[in-house]
Amino acid sequence: MIRAFLSVLLVLGLGGCTTLNHRDLRFVGSHQISTALYAKMSHHEPLTVDDIIELWEKGIPGPFIVHYLQPTYYVYKLSPDDVSRLRTAGVDDVVVRYLLATPGMYSPSHAPVWYEDNPTIYDTHPGLSRY
């Protein structure tokens, strides 16, 4: 049991974070972004609102920004000021809508409830489980 648990931890630890492929890194590097932001992106770390604005101002297209952000599974809890800053900077609406949607997509408090987890739902097929 402990051996299986350690194996899962090892797999998650080594394979949990992905990095950008070489083509994507060359694309980002060709837009003259700051060294700190390039390093952050090469390690596939979550970005701040300021980082996203910098990417947009350097000419990185909105779909590419969303393509980068999705596998980070980071939940952005934007304030009205953050949304205003993004819109004032002219950041693509696709990016702003994605950022606003992340609490519903990745937040544990918004996880789906399975019928087995909810005792108030009548079980029409006793003995059967989801898997």
Residue 37 lies in a domain: yes
Return the higher-pLDDT residue of 120 and 20: 20
- pLDDT value for 21: 85
* 123 within some domain: no
Which of 17-26, 33-42, 58-67, 105-114 shows the lowest per-residue confidence on average (mean pLDDT)? Answer: 105-114
Is 39 within a domain?
yes
pTM (2 d.p.) = 0.68
Domain extent, residue 38, equals: 16-111
DSSP for 17-70, written as a single string? -----HHHHHHHHTTT--HHHHHHHHTTPPPPHHHHHHHHHTT--HHHHHHHHG
Q: Would residue 6 count as lying in a domain? A: no
Tokens of 93: 């609406």
Number of domains in the chain: 1
Q: Is the pLDDT of residue 123 over 80?
A: no
Task: Give domain status of residue 88, yes or no.
Answer: yes
In a domain, 36, yes or no: yes
